[in-house]
Structure formats: structure tokens, C-alpha cells
Amino acid sequence: MKNIELIENIEIKNKLKEFDNYGGRIDFNFFKVDKSISEYNSHFLTAKNSILELQRNSHYFKIEFEENKMSESGTKISVEEFFGPWFDFKSMKPILRGFKSLNNLFYFDSKEINENIVNVRDSKIFKNERSNLSTFGFTQAFLDPVHGFRVSNNIFETGQYFLDFCNFLFSNLNKIEVFKWNTDCSNYFDDGKEFWGTHFWTVYNPKRGYYIAITASDTD
């Protein structure tokens, strides 16, 4: 086989189409990587080829790529940092913006009432995050794009969808490995630098034996 191969199948296509229909603004690409390649280089090849796939599939503007700005930038991060402050690992619950109370956050399985409001700014992850932009981690990027993400008219079904999608992607959160990459490597990320944020991660799922490139950049 090649060092790296894109994985495309009906299950993946249907999942990603459904996510897009609900308002999702993250791009996912799945790859199989030769097992003889080192951990870092496996993630690097995944990151590089994800940008090449974005280039190949872009119909709106020409996506440029400066590989030298990405090649040495990969940093291994914890799963907690990857998911960010909108996910509570003690209870394994996502936190999301209320549908009735848009300016407040709630655990997905709670009622949207004042006593249930969650303040994620108390999170160590939030305090350690250096970004000046408004989106922190995968959970928020998934659940809070600029124009909203909604599975139904209640936060429970939207939060449950997130958990199910994560199970599809990652299988076991205790087993995955995550790298974070420089988002200055491509103009794909320019829009998010206005305020929403930019994200570039690669994740290895050992149960399924594939690598996932996760890229996001959003603006109004």
C-alpha cells in the first residue's frame, strides 16, 4: 500500500452529510497510514494530506498550502485539551448553548433554567488556553458554529448526537492520541481568524486503525 490512503465509504459519507445538514462547520478526512511510520510522521502525513484533500475538493476559492509552516508544528495534546471546556470528562457530558436561553450554557441533559447555568470559564482548560479567539476545543467547534448547530428543538437530542458522533469517530476516548497543528499553513483558515477561531487536529483511533484530520474555520 501507499504510505497513506484516504478512506471513503458509505458510512463515512452518510455521517458527514448528516452533520453538514445539521449545520456543522468542521471538515473531517479519514486515512489509513502504513504501520511502519513513526507516531509523529503518521500524524504529519494525515495533516498534510487533509489539506491536499481540501484543495482538491474546494469549489469556492483556491486553497493554498505552505507545508514548511506545518511540518515541525505538530504538538501532542491531551484528550481534555482537545475536547476543551465545553465537555465535562468527570460526567462525560457535553455542555452547549441553550436553545431557549441562547446566552447561557447548560449540560445537555439538564433543563434550561437559571440554577443549571454552567460557567465554563472556571475550567482549567479555558484558563490555560492562549487563544484570543472565541472558540475553544473540539466540543465547542462542533456544537457552536457561527450560524448554529441543531439536531432538534432541544439541547438533549443535540448533545446526544454529539456523543454518538464522537463514538463513531473515536470509539474510546481513553485510547486516542491527538496532535494539534499550526493554522498559519493555509488560507483555508483565514476566515476563522476574524473572531470564531481556527482548528487543526489529527486524531488516531487505534480500535478502527485510522487517522482523522479535523479542520475548522468559520465566519459570518
Domain count, the chain: 1
Range of the domain at 9: 4-217
Q: pLDDT band at residue 134, thresholds of 50, 70 and 90?
A: confident
Neighbours of 180 (CB within 10 A): 18
- Report how far residue 139's alpha carbon sits from residue 94's, in angstroms, rounded to the nearest whole number: 7
pLDDT tens-place string over residues 64-93: 999 999 989 999 999 999 999 999 999 999
Residues 6+ apart with CB under 8 A from 204: 42, 43, 176, 177, 178, 210, 211, 212
Q: Give every CB contact of residue 20 below 8 A, 6+ residues apart in sequence.
A: none
Tens digits of per-residue pLDDT, 14-61?
999 999 999 999 999 999 999 999 999 999 999 999 999 999 988 778
- Span between the terminal Cα atoms of the chain, in Å: 42
- Cβ(197)–Cβ(141) under 8 Å? yes
